[in-house]
Amino acid sequence: MKIRNYEKKDWKRLNEIHDAARIIELNNAGIPDAFLSLEETYENEGLFEYKLLVAEDEIGLVVGFTAFYDEEIAWLYVDPQYHRKGIATKLLNVAMEQAGKVISIEVLENNIEAINLYKKIGFKVVEKASGSLVGNESFIVTGYVLEYKK
């Protein structure tokens, strides 16, 4: 598994990965109608304002990505066909090495797999909040803010 910086040639795979994983995430949250594709939301959510890393398998296929600032991991998606293979953990570890001393992430309340992953790495829940779903503000959601301190 290779973690590297995003390149323009990765755009199609990012769309495929996001869309497949996001549908599952929103179904688990009970709001499947909130789905918007990456193509529909990347500008509004500022995807390219973040540092963007991709995970590439041994044959060069992009299988996951993360986008982050020094203080926040904003995006983390892995192709559902590659779940439970350590890809999200590898992406997180590299992002956390490059991020600042305190890093936060927001997770939907029912995204138990993601919450467990972040806790396993050392994130702690610091807040439970409700508000508009980022990117599709007509939906109200409840989620957690988790924080990691180096």
Q: Where exactly are the structural domains of the chain?
A: 2-149
Name the pLDDT band for 101 (thresholds 50, 70, 90): very high
Q: What is the pLDDT of residues 38-69, one digit of tens each?
A: 999 999 899 999 999 999 999 999 999 999 99
Name the pLDDT band for 3 (thresholds 50, 70, 90): very high
Q: Looking at per-residue confidence, does 150 or 51 come out higher? A: 51
Of the candidates 110, 82, 76, the residue with the CA atom closest to the CA atom of residue 94: 76
The whole-number average pLDDT for the span 10-15 is 98
Distance CA 122, CA 148 (A): 6
pLDDT at 136: 83
Distance CA 126, CA 118 (A): 12
**Which CATH homologous superfamily contains domain 2-149?**
Gcn5-related N-acetyltransferase (GNAT) (3.40.630.30)
Q: Is the pTM of this model over 0.85?
A: yes
Is residue 137 scored above 90 in pLDDT? no
Residue ranges in 29-104 assigned as alpha helix (H): 38-41, 87-98
Q: Looking at per-residue confidence, does 97 or 136 come out higher? A: 97
The total of other beta-carbon atoms located within 10 Å of residue 69's CB is: 15
Q: Looking at per-residue confidence, does 138 or 19 come out higher? A: 19
Whether the CB-CB separation of 131 and 141 falls below 8 Å is answered with yes
Of the candidates 51, 49, 24, 22, the residue with the CA atom closest to the CA atom of residue 38: 22
Distance CA 150, CA 147 (A): 10
pLDDT at 36: 95
